[in-house]
Amino acid sequence: MQRTPEPELMDTGEQAAAYAHADFEQPHNMYIQLFRKAFPGEAVTGHVLDLGCGPADITIRFARAFPGCTIDAVDGAEQMLKYGHVAVDEAGLARRIHLIHAYLPGATLPHTAYDAVISNSLLHHLRDPLALWHAVRDHAKVGAPVFIMDLMRPDSVARAGELMEQYAAGEPDILRQDFFNSLLAAYTVDEVRQQLAQTGLKHLDVQAVSDRHLVVAGRPA
């Protein structure tokens, strides 16, 4: 199935509200578990860069999982960040999580190099997917853990519809449609490997981790 791009930003108030209030407990907990599996025993400290943080749910989970780090979390959608600021404040993590309104490519960041780079569900939104990999290449310290999770495009529109019904059955219509559109806009494992080869990151590992997710993990050489 050919990829069908979707808008880069989820920045309407309705979209942001639906996403901020959705139940992502299972996939977001899985994100932390898979990070620990990819980097067993890793005690993440120092400065972490989170690309495409949305309303900061994974950012908060990561900060709680690794209390020795601070996180610069970037997103281009102001409406998402409004919910993120509320969530960070309610979690009592405002001293450790800094939310930044910025876009890729060209985001101005507080630090040149980071001790870890993470991202969830940003890749399929980007007009140029290489923008994410350039940011990883340019901002991850040598040997820093890099962990990127994203949706994985199914082999047919019909299968995308089945996944939507399976995993977003009880969600608002706008979230169901966004999930369906995101599945159609996602990349395959082979396509991501090609992107990594283009940006000098082919040593990073790419694998499917569920029926709808892929993970890119490793350390910059």
Reading the chain (221 residues) residue by residue, the pLDDT tens digits are 999 987 655 555 566 666 656 656 777 889 999 999 999 999 999 999 999 999 999 999 999 999 999 999 999 988 899 999 999 999 999 999 999 999 888 888 999 999 999 999 999 999 899 999 999 999 999 999 999 999 999 999 999 999 999 998 888 888 889 999 999 999 999 999 999 999 999 999 999 999 999 999 999 88
CATH topology of domain 16-36+43-152+187-218: Rossmann fold (3.40.50)
Work out the angle between the directed axes of helices 78-90 and 57-65 (0-180°, nearest 10): 40
The answer to whether 79 and 11 are in contact (CB under 8 A) is yes
Q: What pLDDT score was predicted for residue 221?
A: 81
- Burial of 135 (C-beta count, 10 Å sphere; 0-12/13-18/19+): buried
Q: What pLDDT score was predicted for residue 59?
A: 97
Return the domain boundaries, the chain: 16-36+43-152+187-218
CA-nearest of 147, 117, 120 to 24 is 120
Q: What pLDDT score was predicted for residue 125?
A: 92
Q: What pLDDT score was predicted for residue 19?
A: 62
Work out the angle between the directed axes of helices 13-21 and 78-90 (0-180°, nearest 10): 30
Q: What pLDDT score was predicted for residue 57?
A: 93
Cis peptide upstream of residue 105 (ω within 30 degrees of 0): yes
Q: How far apart are CA 66 and CA 45, in angstroms?
A: 7
The answer to whether 43 and 60 are in contact (CB under 8 A) is no
Element (H, E) at 108: none
pTM: 0.93
The answer to whether 70 and 47 are in contact (CB under 8 A) is yes
Cα 49 to its chain centre, rounded Å, is 11
User: Hey, what's the torsion of the CAs at 12, 25, 137, 195, to 10 degrees?
Assistant: -80
Structure tokens at 26: 């299972």
